[in-house]
Amino acid sequence: MPQFPNACLLAANGKTGRLSTSFINAVRGFKTERGFKTSVFERILRRISKPKITPFDSITIDEGPFPPSRLWKPLGFTVLVCSGTFVCAAIWQYENMRARAIALMKQRSSWIQDKYHNKKKIDSWWNGLTEADKIFLPIFFLNCWAFSAWRFPQLQGTMLRYFCSNPTSRILCWPMILCTFSHYSILHLFANMLGMYFLLQDSVVSMGKEQVFALFLIGGVISSMASYVHRVFSVTGLSLGASGAVLAIFGYFCIRDPDKDMCLIFMPFFTFSADTALCVQILLDVAGIILGWRRIDHAAHLGGTITGIAWSFWGNTYYNKTMHWWHELTGGQ
């Protein structure tokens, strides 16, 4: 998740910074020892004296201290969303498995002769997608929609309120989810979506699309909560992006398959094991938090990664127990 701490200060109350006119005029009258005006320096001053251009100019952003007492509301929201998502995903996966089993039992005995004919009768493009694509494409289109919405000045106020994680905003809870589907930079969007696409191919096979989607949402909310907690001890600012949610899937994948070969997007010839990638990612985020690097929300990244690691150790166990509970509740029907 990238951060925009300076944008909050520059655009707060709809004001932008200018150097004073008297200061510029004083520089214009300045002459060097050779009697020539400092034209180069004057041009530089003219350039920097213009209003600072940021993605959020003319938009009022709530700013101020972030007391720890404000954490209770987002903490309760995090617990509610995570537990609800977990249970709903388990029920969703159980019902899908039951529906497939019923359909298989009702299948005609002549399925061998009809299977190619049935494939030709598929009238929905959706049915031809892989399980991984059925998760990836909706997330991708939602992120593309949010990216497009940022391009319209009329929508930027709404995007800032609901699609940016801002701990000093009056609206604290809903942005914790919605910022997961929000990207302002095309490079940020491309990197997250490409990384998620490759991670989903193996993760969906081992977990199922329902459980992966639950991990994505829960990882996004917990990463936002981790960002809020970190902001109590550091400067406030805005965060957005799916990085925390993607890193939750990444953390799960690296623990479940530590020997899997991975590579950088732009350097496919340079490979390394998944457990090495996980260690490097954690070390970078810890260093970013300790050293105060503000370009990236390292607390959110670390929160997402830890969520995936925890899921790999305990998530599957409780997920299966939830499915069994639903099976017993419905009478095994």
**Any domain includes 236:** yes
Query: For position 41, what pLDDT does the model report?
Result: 39
Of 271, 265, 305, 267, residue with least CA distance to 285: 305
Q: Is residue 58 included in any domain, yes or no?
A: no
Cα–Cα distance measured from residue 62 to residue 307, given in angstroms and rounded to the nearest whole number? 29
Other CB atoms within a 10 A radius of the CB of residue 157 amount to 14
| Residues 177-196 as b or e (16 or more Cβ within 10 Å = b) | bbbbbbbbeeebbebbbebb
Q: Are residues 95 and 28 in the same domain?
A: no
| Distance of alpha carbon 19 from alpha carbon 49, whole angstroms | 5
pTM of this structure: 0.75
Domain count across the chain: 2
Same domain, 190 and 318: yes
**DSSP class of 180:** G
What pLDDT digit, counting tens, does each position of 311-329 carry? 999 988 888 888 888 888 8
Residue pair 199/139 in contact (Cβ under 8 Å)? The answer is: no
Comparing 118 with 173, the larger pLDDT belongs to: 173
Distance CA 225, CA 299 (A): 9
pLDDT value, residue 311: 94
Decide if 53 is inside a domain: no
Q: Is residue 60 a part of any domain in this protein? A: no
> For the domain that residue 210 is a member of, what is the CATH number?
1.20.1540.10
Q: What is the pLDDT of residues 264-296, one digit of tens each?
A: 877 778 888 999 999 999 999 999 999 888 888
> In which residue are the tokens 């001053």 written?
45
From residue 281, alpha-carbon distances to 231, 254, 265 in Å are 21, 11, 15
The answer to whether residues 217 and 268 belong to one domain is: yes
Q: Domain check: are 143 and 23 in the same one?
A: no
Question: What spatial distance separates the first Cα and last Cα of the chain, rounded to whole Å?
Answer: 44
Residues 140, 20 share a domain: no
Cα distance between residue 277 and residue 33, in whole Å: 59
**14 and 73 part of one domain:** no
Q: What distance in Å separates the CA atoms of residue 86 and residue 322, rounded to the nearest whole number?
A: 9
Q: H/E element holding 289?
A: helix 274-291
- Give me the mean pLDDT over the 118-136 stretch: 72
The verdict on 33 and 96 lying in the same domain is no
Long-range contacts at 43-51 (CB < 8 A, ≥ 24 apart): 45/19, 48/19, 49/18, 49/19, 49/24, 50/18, 51/16, 51/17, 51/18
Q: Say if 63 falls within a structural domain.
A: no
pLDDT digits (tens, 9 = 90+) for 180-209: 999 999 999 999 999 999 999 989 988 889
- Are 22 and 117 part of one and the same domain? no
Could you please report the per-residue DSSP string of 187-238? HHHHHHHHHHHHHHHHHHHHH-HHHHHHHHHHHHHHHHHHHHHHHHSS----
Catalytic residue among 227, 239, 243, 312: 243
90 in the same domain as 175: yes
Using alpha carbons only, what angle is made at residue 130 by residues 126 and 133, rounded to the nearest 5 degrees?
A: 80
Write the single-letter amino acid at 247: L
Task: Yes or no: say if 143 and 216 are a contact pair by the CB < 8 Å rule.
Answer: no
| Residue 106, C-beta contacts closer than 8 angstroms, at least 6 positions apart | none
Do residues 108 and 23 both lie within one domain? no
C-alpha–C-alpha distance, residues 210 and 221, integer Å: 17
pLDDT at 35 over 80: no
83 is catalytic: no
Q: Are residues 110 and 43 in the same domain?
A: no
Cβ atoms of 292 and 234 within 8 Å: the answer is yes
Tell me what pLDDT residue 333 has: 59
301 is catalytic: yes
> Which structural domain range is residue 168 located in?
68-329
Instruction: Specify the DSSP class assigned to residue 52.
Output: P
Please tell me which residue in 183, 188, 230, 301 is annotated as part of the active site.
301
Domain match, 25 and 155 both: no
pLDDT of residue 332: 62
Could you tell me if residue 107 is inside a domain? yes
Confidence grade of residue 299 (pLDDT, cut at 50, 70, 90): very high
Across 16-43, average pLDDT:
40
62 located within any domain: no
Q: pLDDT at position 220, please?
A: 95
Tell whether 72 is covered by a domain. yes
What b/e readout covers 49-67, taking b as 16+ CB neighbours within 10 angstroms?
Answer: eeeeebebbebebebeebe
